[in-house]
Amino acid sequence: MTSISILCLWLFTGYIMSNYHVVIIGGGGTGGALAHDLALRGLRVTLVERGEVTSGTTGRHHGLLHSGARYAVKDQESAIECIEENTILRKIAPGTFEENDGLFVAITDEDVEYSHAFIEGCAECGIPTQQLSKQEALRLEPNLTDDLILAVRIPDATMDAMRMPLRFFATAKKNGVDIKTYTEVLAIRKQGEAVTGVQVKDHTSGKVYDIGADLIVNAAGPWSGKVADMVGVEVPIRPSPGVMVAVRGRWCNMVINRLNTSSDGDIVVPQRGLSVIGTSSWVVDDPDNLGLPPDHIQAMYNHGTMMMPVLKNAPMRAAWSAARPLIGPRKADADTGRELSRTFKCFDHVDEGVEGFVTITGGKATTLRGMAEAAANVVCEKLGIEEPCRTREAVLLPHTAYYA
């Protein structure tokens, strides 16, 4: 199918099918991708977001397009999801990514030992690798530490955390999706066991009103537990913040990762004229109250410097935290969150006595399209709509089209 044919498909699909109305709660990347998917399947869609689109976790990550290699040893389900979506996103969002690859670097004997399981795990997940000697890696990235022993090259890439998902919002908007920003859900309406819509407040005007719906999708990321509480169902979500530090200077051109199990400060992501060091990990009950622990900021410097000594004296441009929506028991004992999978899940809450309410949560920015496809499949099955997913092939509009 040509790009022109796909564009025509975008422009007309939404007007030839059902009159079912779906309300999506959450204007992050997953909500935007889901709105895009459902519009291509012919549904009428309204998306509500209490702030601006991408203003939550989506707009605060470090901008990595995951190869999945980070999870290839202990979380292979997530690794496979990442490499599959990595390939799809490069195809449907051309020009969005800096296809710079990544290096996993070994600087201790323990790192070298881990490299065997790492390379084997990548092979099992379909992630291509290339082992490099110290000299080969230093030719690619001369700012790596002289303690370097070896490196493994993998297909990571980088992106603008907000512009990539804006391409989904732009295309969804073009296909008739009603995107309501600064619109907060106050309550979810029910009639018997079935949801019937949402009560919202427009924070720009102060107006409170209802929006009717045949089905509601909770795509609120780390806030999805709070949304689920409105209808008395359980979403096992653990908001897990991480601190990131952006320093002035582009000190690497590839994504630099520590070749070990997930740990603090184990990645440096080049972003334009900056380098982003991340991340730490802990868990919170309230994703609106994350904090920014000073010792976590210093830890990013300390660990990043182990891989790239030049970072030690690089001036800080900014530091921030963002909450990962990790799937795990909400009332479990406190932990760091690192032991929780980065996979995603879609929940149909009919077994909990609520009809017409679906949650999609977990995952990563890299897997937003795949998450949307899984949720859209559930939505269409519940509504009796037999339309295939088209988002694996449909090339997205540029991010600038969102503002057109």
Strands 316-327 and 274-278, bridge-based pairing: unpaired
- Compute the distance between CA of residue 268 and CA of residue 288 in angstroms, rounded to an integer: 26
Q: Higher model confidence: residue 395 or residue 284?
A: 395
Residue 333 has pLDDT above 90, yes or no: no
Residue 277 has pLDDT above 60, yes or no: yes
Rounded to the nearest integer, the mean pLDDT of the chain is: 92
Domains, the chain, ordered by start: 1-63+160-236+328-404 (3.50.50.60), 100-155+237-325 (3.30.9.10)
Confidence class of residue 328 from pLDDT cuts 50, 70 and 90? confident
Q: Higher model confidence: residue 297 or residue 16?
A: 297
* Residue reference for tokens 């496979």: 80
- Compute the distance between CA of residue 199 and CA of residue 184 in angstroms, rounded to an integer: 8
Confidence class of residue 335 from pLDDT cuts 50, 70 and 90? low
* In contact, 67 and 153? CB cutoff 8 Å: no
Confidence class of residue 304 from pLDDT cuts 50, 70 and 90? very high
Residue 6 has pLDDT above 80, yes or no: no
CA distance readout (Å), 242 to 227, 280, 303: 22, 5, 14
pLDDT tens, position by position, 64-88: 999 999 999 999 999 999 999 999 9
Q: What is the pLDDT of residue 192?
A: 95
Q: What is the pLDDT of residue 263?
A: 87
- Compute the distance between CA of residue 24 and CA of residue 22 in angstroms, rounded to an integer: 6
For the residues of 317-384, what is the DSSP string, one character each?
Answer: EEEEEEEEEEES-TTSPP--STTS---EEEEEGGGGT-BSEEEEEE--GGGHHHHHHHHHHHHHHHHT
pLDDT tens, position by position, 210-222: 999 999 999 999 9
Q: Is the dihedral of CA 158, 163, 167, 169 positive or negative?
A: positive
pTM of the model: 0.92
- Compute the distance between CA of residue 67 and CA of residue 69 in angstroms, rounded to an integer: 5
Question: Does residue 343 have a cis peptide bond before it, meaning omega lies within 30 degrees of 0?
Answer: no
Q: Is the dihedral of CA 86, 91, 92, 96 positive or negative?
A: positive
**Residue positions counted in the chain:** 404
